[in-house]
Each structure stands twice: as C-alpha cells, then as structure tokens.
A and B are shown apart, each in its own frame.
Chain A
C-alpha cells in the first residue's frame, strides 16, 4: 500500500472523487480482491466464537499500543528464528566480512593449514624411547625383554599384590565362562549385569556409604563426574596440586575455580573466607560450592588433612569431592582410604571417587556417596551414560579383591611395613626432618611440597626430597638441586632409572607428564610404587639399590656441568657415528 501513497496524495488535490483515478485495467483485479476479502470475512464469521476473538483483539490493541508493538516484534523474531539456518553459528555477526564467491575461492586456494601434528621434539622421542615394555605377566617380577633378567617392578600400583593373584585369575576365568568378555552395551541399555550391581553394593558396604556407581575407566570417571555436578555459576575451591583428570573435569565444568596452595589448610580457609565475603558483598542467589582435593595426591604422594577439610567444609557449607583413586586400596587398616585412616565416616565425603584399576588391580573406577549423588550420575554423567559398561570379569575380580581386603588385614599391614623399610633406606639422602615423620593421625607431613620453598637443610648429604606421606605406597622423589631446565632434569632422572635397572635390577619410572598441557607444570620426579607382595628383604635391597643409583648419578660428587658435557659428548659421538655410517653407505666404502 505504501507505494500507492504518493499517487493518492497527488490525486487528493483534484476535485474528482478518488475512485475515478483508478486505471481501468485494475478494476477487475480490485473487484476480485474485495470479493475474496468478503468471502474470507464471511467464512471467518461462521467460525463459532470468532466475534469474541475479534472483539478481544480490537479492544486490547486500542488500549495498549505498546503491547501490540511487542507482539509484532515477537512474531517477527519467531519468524527470523525459524528461517535462520540451524548450523549458522556466529554467521552474520558484526565481525562478518561479506566476500564475493571469487574472493572466497581465492581464500580457499590460499588456505594452508598447519600439519595435523607437529614434528616430534627430541624430548618427545626421548619420552617414547624410555617407555618400558613388559614381556609376559606383569607383577612384582617382570622382564622388559623376551629373554631379559627378571626385574623387581616398583613402577605399577600393585599395593596388595592383586595383579598376580591366582585367586583373581580363577575368579576371572569363572566369570569369562559365564559372561564372556565384553558387555556390548551401555548400562542404560542391557549393559547392567548383575555383577555390576553386586560390585556397587560391595563398594557401598565396604565404604559404608549409601550407594556407589561404577565407571569403565578412572580417568573418564574423574573428568566426567565433576562436571555432572558443578555447572556454570557454581564455585569450586580446588587444591593446586590435584591431578590432570581433575583439571580436565574442572575445565569443562565451566564453574568459577579458586585455587588454594597445595596442602595448606590455612590458605584453604583464607580462600573460603574470601568467597564468603564476595558472596555477601554481591548478594545473588545461593550457588553450589565444592571443595575438590585428592586423598593421596597423584602428583607427589602427599596426603590430605581430611578432618580439617571436613571441618572447614561444614563450617562454610561446601560439598567435598574427594579423589581417592590413589589412596583407595592403599591406606587404612583394610584399604578403605583416608576415611579409615583418620577414623571418620566415608559418608561425610559428599562425592568420593576411587579406582578399581589402581586400588584393586582390575579396571574402572567408582563414585561412592548418597543415593541421590549416584542416581544423578546414571543419567547425567556423560562417561557413564554414553559408554559401554565395565567387562564382567573386571567387576567380579574387583568384588573378590574387596573381599580379600576385608578378610586379610595382613595385605595392608605388609604393605605398610614395606613402605617403612623402603623409606628408611632413602631417609639417609633426605633433609633430616623427614627421619622422624609424624605417623599419628594429626595431619600431613610438615610442609615439604615441591611447590613451596624448601626448608633449611640439616643433612649435608641430602640430595632428594620426598614430600610423599610416610604411609603412602606411592612415593615421589624430587631432586633438591635440579638442573636448570625441565628437560635436563628429566634426562638426569632417567639416568637414575637406568642405573637402578642395570645395577640393582629394580624397575622404577619417572613420573610421566603431559608437558605443555598441564595447568601447573609439575616438577619432574621419580615415581615409586611399593607393593605388599614384596618381601622385606627385597624392599630393603631395592631401597639400597635406589640410594646407590641416586648417589652415583646425582650424589655429592655430581657436577651438573660435567654431566652436561658428558651428555653433549655422547650425543656428539652418536651423531658423528651416524654421519660416518651414512657416509660409508653412500660411498660404499
């Protein structure tokens, strides 16, 4: 109609009535239109209730023009949403540059992506080359080549010696003959086998919690369980020293994350107070608040002061997510983890994560807590919903392992004895204070974190520091006086590993890290796992062997510059030999 406006206005100046101005050819069209309009009107009036609708629309629009405008806008918006493509993301935003097809073609031709992966750095090659391969059964005594000599394996978590246990094998074979290997389905669709339910009950009974839920892998458990609860807008207070899987879980939870200094309860309280102050200042609605920590920290073996954390959590109304993947099956009289060690009920921990793979030497992980916590994950935790359930034999062996832990307290006591023997051997290289460690339940080792300034050294021969808790089977050894770069330190530690393997036949490993992907780069360290399946004598010998290796490679006579030069010469010689070899090949000499 707008296009007719000027015509009508000009015609208004003339005295002739407006309809005379209508051109002849348009008249039939207009007649047709008006008849259509009338018919429609008639039809509309025949619909029962239509007058009410008309009256309603008329009155409401007359009385409230704002509302009419809003409704028109709404309709327009709805239309726009419907018409917009589903896959357009930021599409025609204000940053969108309109380009012609030809320009786009040129840009496509010019597009040169980076290679899918970068060329491996020397450090990467070194990492890959130093991965040991076990031939045959893994366990306390292993071979790293088909015909090699047996080595004492102190590199795998085998706290109670379940890895080689004949009982486990028997249980596994029985299960295999009844259930096969895989479950061929997620737990929601016929993947919930009775042995899974039984294991969940066993775990819940063992820890004395309301319920438990199992996952098919520990890493997926930790990284998926946290975002199942912590959402955007929630607050997470986390220890700085938590493991990589927790980091990943925190990252995708999109919650607000506050860090407190590793193992420092005072700092934790300070952070909690800050959050509380912030909340009071800003107001806003109550959000979920979590404290995330580990029982035995995977990165250095330190232990959490659980009673203190529980006290703080209650005081400031937080929920505790405790990752006991390392401590479950290792700490406490029956291996129930920190709660047993400190004598607090495990049900006080709101969300308790543990690992069957490390603690019980089978596979998968579990989360224990209240019924609400567990049933929530069955539908809302992505790794639980969207993955096949745990193979039946790993579930039954885990149940059998729990049974063994309950009925054989000797498993844990021999582990503790072995840890004690081993630590004694190494304490001669440590700064003095660790020789009288507080073994009572009053808390963690006095601040000895690698992340904190080292305390004054009293032992002149000290070359290493071990922040790991004296009862922890997982022992991390850090150098007191490390070389300047991470890579050199890793190489130096690898020398210790090689030396220990060659002279004392013990297999240990450097703590492997994802350099470049971690939020806080952990310091390089040696990782040692003690097993209760070793005899005391073996452990004593291993401790001695490691001590000698440490002294030999980085002891008091160790001179970094000299070591560096030797390394340089070695690589120079290797390079030259290769060159020579190529030369000979090419020339055919």
Chain B
C-alpha cells in the first residue's frame, strides 16, 4: 500500500477521529483557544480545525521547540481501510515522510485509528463483532505493530517509531508548577466518602465484637495469652484487618518476569475473604502502568542486560561486606564518578537500598540542635532518617511556599524550643516529584527562599531523576537550575534505571564527610556488581558517551534541543566508563536515551491531559509520569482495580493499576496511581484512556465536567500535549 493512498484516505478524514475536534473546540471559550500551537500544524490537512479568524497564539518556548523540531508526516488513516492497513503495517515498515523523503519511520497511527473506529462503532462500513476485536487484540501486548531495529521484546519495551509522539520535558514558565487550589469534587462525594469509612468502621467493630466472642482462635494474636502481651495492637491493626483486607486482592499481586511495559501475573483466588490466596496455576499478561520503570530500562534483553551479564562473568554476583572493609570495587568508584557527572555534582556516594539512602544519610548531616523542615508528603524514609538523627522536625503544608516562609521566619526568630538558642543549621528536605501526588517541588521559589534564609537544601529525586527534564537529570534540569545550587541531591536507581539502590551527590567535601559518617558506609552491604553495571549502562546511554561514535542523521533535527542543554549536562567521557564495558552504538551515542526521554515526556503529558479532558480529577503536574486519578470512595477503589483487570470492553486486554488509600494518602483522597514509562506506546495510553473512560462512566468517577469524548482525546493527542493549558 502506497503512501499517497494513505494520505488521501487521511484527507477524507475519519468520522471518528480527525473530524471531531471542531465540536469540542466550539465548546471552549473563544477568547482562549484550546490548542495554542495548533496553527503550527499547517502541514497537516486533517488537523486544522482552528477557526481561521482566531489569532494564532504564540505558544511557550518548550512547545515551540517540540513542535518545530520534529518532522511532521503522519495522519490518521481512514477506518474504511483498517483491516488491510493493520495487516500491511507489519511489512510496510518504511513509510516515507511527506517532503524530504527520508525513509526513517513507519507509521503507527494506523492501529490507533483502527482501534478508535472499533470503539466508536459507528464509523466503519464493516462492523466488527466482539469476537473479531478480541481476536485482533489477542497478541496486542506481545506482537509489535511496527518493525524496528530494537532488540528488546515488545512486551518489555513497546516498539514505537512515530516521531510525533515525542515531547521534551521542560518547564514552561506559563504553566503553573503547582495548582494553588486542588480540584475538589462536590460535597456529596466527600460526604459519601466519609460515610463509607464510617460504615466500614462500624461494620468492622461489629465483626470484631462477635468474632472475639465466637471465634477467639482467630483473634489470639490480638489478645494477651498466658502472660504474653498481644504482639499486634488490636487498635493499630484494625485498619489492616477490617478495611485493607477487603481489597487485598488488589495489592501484592504475585508476578513473574520483567516488570516492563507488560507484566505477567499469577492468577489467584481467595475463599476466605482475602485472608489467604491460592494460585490457580494460570498466568495473565497485562499492560503495566504501575511499575516505576520510567525509562523502560527494566529489561531482560538489550544492551543494558548484556552489560549486566558481562559484569556477572567478570565480577560475580556479590562483593559481600561493607564499603569500608575490602568490598569497595573499582566498579563502585566508577559508578560514583558517573553518577556525579550525571546529576551535575562534584562527587557522589552509592548505597545499596533506596530507602536506606535517606535513612542512613540524614543522620550523618544533622543531629540534636539542628532543625529539619520537611514537606508534609515526604517519603517514609526521610522521616525515618530524621528520627534516627535526633534532630527536630517541623512540617509544612505540601508545596506551600508561603507557609514555608512563615515557618522559616518563626524557626529562625524563635530559635530552639525553651533555650531560644539559634538552630545550628536548618535543613529543608523536599522531594523532586512526589510519588503519590505527581506534583513537582517549586524549586525556583525554594532557591529564592534559600538565598534569604540561609538554609541547606536536600532534594530527594527518587522519582524525578531520569524521568524529568530535557536531559533526564531530574528537577534541576527540568527547571533549568544549576544543580550546584542544591546542597544535597539524593536519588534512587530503582526507578528510572531499572536497577536498585540509591545515591547521594553533592560537593566533594560533603560526600567525603558522608562516607565517614553515613551508617551505610560502615555497616551496610555494598551494591552488587551486576546492579552497578545496569546503572552505568543505563545512565551512560542517557548521557551519551564522548567522543560519540557516529552522529546519526536524526540528530540534526533535534538541533534545538541539543543547544538548549545546560552546559553541565554534557556527554560523559569514555574514560569514566569501565574499559571492558561494550555498549551497542545506539546506547553509546545517546540516541536511545534521548528517544526514551522524549517518549516518556509525551506519554506522561498525554495521559494526564487526556484524563483531565475526560472529566476526571487528576492531581499533579502534567509533565509528571506519575498520574494520580482521584477516586474518593473506598468501595470504588477495589472495583476500579478489578475492572481494569477484567476489562469488559471488546479488546479484553487486562491493565494492572495501583490503588492507594489511607495511610499513604489523606483519608478521603483514595486514588489510582498510574506510573507511565517510555516503554509504553501511544496505543497503550489510548487503551488506558478508553479503559478509564468506560470504568469512569460505570463507577461515576468523572467528578468534573467532561469536555471531550475519549475518541476526541485520542485523535487530538498531539494537540493536547502541545497545549500549554488544559481547562
């Protein structure tokens, strides 16, 4: 099938896809166009729904970069030709772009519009039965729709060639970092949520009351027994026993294999209301939007895995012991140098567990007489660290810089409690990206405050490192702030790098001090060599290794984003990497890494914007790959998770999601948390959107006004991503 036929087919415009935007646009106020960058898409005949009279709005810089720097050449295909188109897209991989004739990309939009036609059900002349659709989607998770050179399995890292589905994660100063007012549902929802909890608590107590009298054996661990006090407090475990257990089938689902784009689950059943589970023996492959696999480096194949294998042969599995005994390998030092380069700091130190990175380092920095000011949503490891240290701790309302400033003024002017002696030092600990909220720290404001109030700043980038910023270097990169302005940069390797452990980076003086005083250096085991190699390989491939072996042609089109790079974020010198490490070319020259960064940026922004358009309450920044969708009522939580598994729509592809509730979140704001990854393709996100849409309707989760239908959202993905304002 030739390109021109497709083009012409696209120009006829699919009823379900491209022709719908005008209807949605007309509903938005004319003074503020919905898609400011839409005028830039003049090359595309199918997507020019902007009324010509409207003045083209100049979009933000990052939007411009994104829109200008990518070749534009794909259009939704008509639904009429869908069945052949999909079949053809397997072999017709070299689909030419419209003007310059580089045969670089195959077009993937085919399946998207194909699927959209299925969903809308009205567009195509050939109606498909549910069985046909289910058959179509049978191999959806494992079989790629496009041909690529990628050596990684499609089920681990989705193959996606379309260069339009890319974005650069960068701060646009027109967009708010953090909304002043969290979106709230109606009072009816809040009241019913409280009522649900009340009901659960009352029911729980009734069950406890009778249970303790009629089945004392089941409660033995909660009651004193022959002179031993109860091991678990009845009161403390009430929530777990009576509330959480009801949805335990949604937690700790046993899995196998790689937690990549898809995940293999063991099916299990429970006959005693989730007290125990029995595995049925069968497995289910599901789309995974739950793991912290931001850049898709969790993989059992590909360059990083090969490097890890090489390292097992060379270094073994473990180095035993702690850093100060004879367990420090040259590999540890190489990793530390690389990490320091990566985050733009002078030196760094690695620890074998992310949680322990915080909990063993903070005590080495502060002690009695110091004040730690912490965001209220900071991670448990930070709390543990401060408690270990013995320093005083104060909280401030999440991301509220005004409250923080007041608190700082009070703390400095009042000094230590009772003695009023000035604090030895004040350390503010924040997270770059909050794992339950999807919000970003307001770093520019914090840096301003730092100049005035002379505190030290500790940024926990557990989730943001790798996942945020045009170069993947975390929040500093995202906001364009020099990382050396931050005293301590902490992060983990578990998330973006598909490894394990964490790092602390800062000035050489600080790190040297930490090497001596950190609990982990003396008493905790070192990171094992294959894990270190995974870190080196994945980080190296994000940075690119200098001198680059070859400059691919594609690089030229990205000239803008390269020139916008902060000078501290250059490629890494080959001498920093271990000499024996052999990485494939696409990892060495940084193209693969950049591709991944741009894919996750697109995916995150797309899903976040799409869910908002569908009328869901979504927290957080649109650039955040963590997307919490608010559910509120606890009863719906379990159902959301179960319905995502047992999809009742035609495609039947299971999706695994994480539902979180109290105590990880405030009591009423139970939520679903999506963690997107570079490994997801646009089709995967489409599928998540459709699933949310259908379940949202069934469970009545659209607490806001829905401004677009799901098919409109899917058809307008690129515009939604480019728009600097949603709602």
A interface residues (Cβ-Cβ under 8 A, vs B): 85-87, 89-91, 93, 95-97, 99, 103-104, 107-108, 111-118, 120, 124, 127-128, 131-139, 142, 144, 146, 153, 155-158, 162-165, 168-169, 172-173, 176-185, 187-195, 197, 216-220, 223-224, 229, 231, 234, 243-245, 248, 251-252, 286-289, 317, 319, 355, 357-358, 361-363, 372-373, 376, 378-380, 382-383, 385-388, 390-391, 393-394, 397, 507, 509, 512-514, 516-517, 527, 529
Chain B, 347-390, CB within 8 A of any chain A CB: 352-356, 359-360, 363, 365, 376, 379-381, 384, 387-388
B319 at the interface (CB under 8 A from A): yes
Segment with Cβ contacts to A, from B4-12, B119-127, B252-260, B688-696: B252-260
The reply to whether B315 and A131 form a contact with Cβ atoms under 8 Å apart is no
Q: A248-B388, A286-B229 are in contact. Are A124 and B516 (CB under 8 A)?
A: yes
The reply to whether B424 and A114 form a contact with Cβ atoms under 8 Å apart is yes
| Binary interface encoding of chain B residues 293-319 relative to chain A, with 1 for a CB under 8 A from any of its CBs, else 0 | 100011111001100110011111111
The reply to whether B312 and A173 form a contact with Cβ atoms under 8 Å apart is yes
B231 at the interface (CB under 8 A from A): yes
CB neighbours (8 Å) of B356 from chain A are 217, 219-220, 383, 387
Q: A87-B403, A397-B317 are in contact. Are A172 and B312 (CB under 8 A)?
A: yes
B100 at the interface (CB under 8 A from A): no
The reply to whether A219 and B360 form a contact with Cβ atoms under 8 Å apart is yes
CB neighbours (8 Å) of A96 from chain B are 414
CB neighbours (8 Å) of B308 from chain A are 176, 181
Nearest CB of chain A from residue B426's CB, rounded to whole Å: 6
21 pairs, CB–CB < 8 Å, chain A vs chain B: A108-B409, A108-B453, A131-B324, A136-B329, A138-B320, A139-B316, A156-B319, A176-B530, A181-B498, A182-B498, A184-B293, A187-B252, A317-B228, A372-B231, A379-B240, A383-B355, A387-B355, A387-B381, A394-B317, A397-B317, A516-B517
Cα distance A146–B333 when bound, in Å? 13
Cα distance A362–B352 when bound, in Å? 12
Instruction: Identify which of B156, B314, B330 gathers the most chain A CB atoms within 10 Å of its CB.
Output: B330
The reply to whether A362 and B528 form a contact with Cβ atoms under 8 Å apart is yes
Segment with Cβ contacts to A, from B489-497, B624-632, B643-651: B489-497
Q: Which 4 pairs from chain A and chain B are nearest by CB?
A: A387-B355, A217-B353, A155-B326, A357-B525
Determine the residue in chain A with the shortest Cβ distance to B673.
Answer: A189
Cα distance A248–B363 when bound, in Å? 11
Determine the residue in chain B with the shortest Cβ distance to A397.
Answer: B317
Segment with Cβ contacts to A, from B37-45, B506-514, B556-564, B588-596: B506-514
Determine the residue in chain A with the shortest Cβ distance to B528.
Answer: A363
B288 at the interface (CB under 8 A from A): yes
Instruction: Identify which of B319, B500, B517 gathers the most chain A CB atoms within 10 Å of its CB.
Output: B500
Determine the residue in chain A with the shortest Cβ distance to B497.
Answer: A182
Determine the residue in chain A with the shortest Cβ distance to B426.
Answer: A113
Nearest CB of chain B from residue A302's CB, rounded to whole Å: 18
B212 at the interface (CB under 8 A from A): no
The reply to whether B525 and A179 form a contact with Cβ atoms under 8 Å apart is no
The reply to whether B316 and A89 form a contact with Cβ atoms under 8 Å apart is no
The reply to whether B500 and A182 form a contact with Cβ atoms under 8 Å apart is yes
Determine the residue in chain A with the shortest Cβ distance to B513.
Answer: A117
Q: A132-B328, A142-B326, A197-B254 are in contact. Are A361 and B487 (CB under 8 A)?
A: no
Q: A219-B356, A514-B522 are in contact. Are A114 and B425 (CB under 8 A)?
A: yes
CB neighbours (8 Å) of B256 from chain A are 179, 193-195
B290 at the interface (CB under 8 A from A): yes
The reply to whether B515 and A134 form a contact with Cβ atoms under 8 Å apart is no
Q: A181-B500, A224-B384, A229-B231 are in contact. Are A169 and B316 (CB under 8 A)?
A: yes
Checking B314, B320, B384, B413 against A163 with a beta-carbon cut-off of 8 angstroms, the contacting residue is: B320
Q: A182-B499, A252-B388, A363-B525 are in contact. Are A514 and B317 (CB under 8 A)?
A: no
The reply to whether A190 and B290 form a contact with Cβ atoms under 8 Å apart is yes
Instruction: Identify which of B299, B301, B410, B455 gathers the most chain A CB atoms within 10 Å of its CB.
Output: B410
| Binary interface encoding of chain B residues 651-693 relative to chain A, with 1 for a CB under 8 A from any of its CBs, else 0 | 0000010100000000000000000000000000000000000
Nearest CB of chain B from residue A1's CB, rounded to whole Å: 34
Checking B257, B413, B510 against A117 with a beta-carbon cut-off of 8 angstroms, the contacting residue is: B510
The reply to whether A176 and B328 form a contact with Cβ atoms under 8 Å apart is no
CB neighbours (8 Å) of A217 from chain B are 352-353, 355-356, 524-525
Q: A111-B453, A288-B231, A393-B317 are in contact. Are A386 and B380 (CB under 8 A)?
A: yes
Q: A386-B355, A387-B381, A394-B528 are in contact. Are A169 and B456 (CB under 8 A)?
A: no
Q: A138-B319, A190-B263, A319-B231 are in contact. Are A179 and B300 (CB under 8 A)?
A: yes
CB neighbours (8 Å) of A139 from chain B are 316
Checking A178, A231, A245 against B233 with a beta-carbon cut-off of 8 angstroms, the contacting residue is: A231
B183 at the interface (CB under 8 A from A): no
Known: A169-B317, A288-B230. 10 other contacts (CB 8 A): A87-B395, A89-B394, A114-B425, A138-B320, A155-B321, A163-B317, A182-B500, A361-B317, A363-B352, A509-B325
The reply to whether A512 and B324 form a contact with Cβ atoms under 8 Å apart is yes
The reply to whether B498 and A137 form a contact with Cβ atoms under 8 Å apart is no
B468 at the interface (CB under 8 A from A): no
CB neighbours (8 Å) of A168 from chain B are 316-318
The reply to whether B318 and A357 form a contact with Cβ atoms under 8 Å apart is yes
Cα distance A568–B499 when bound, in Å? 47
Nearest CB of chain B from residue A200's CB, rounded to whole Å: 11
CB neighbours (8 Å) of B320 from chain A are 138, 156-158, 163, 357-358, 361
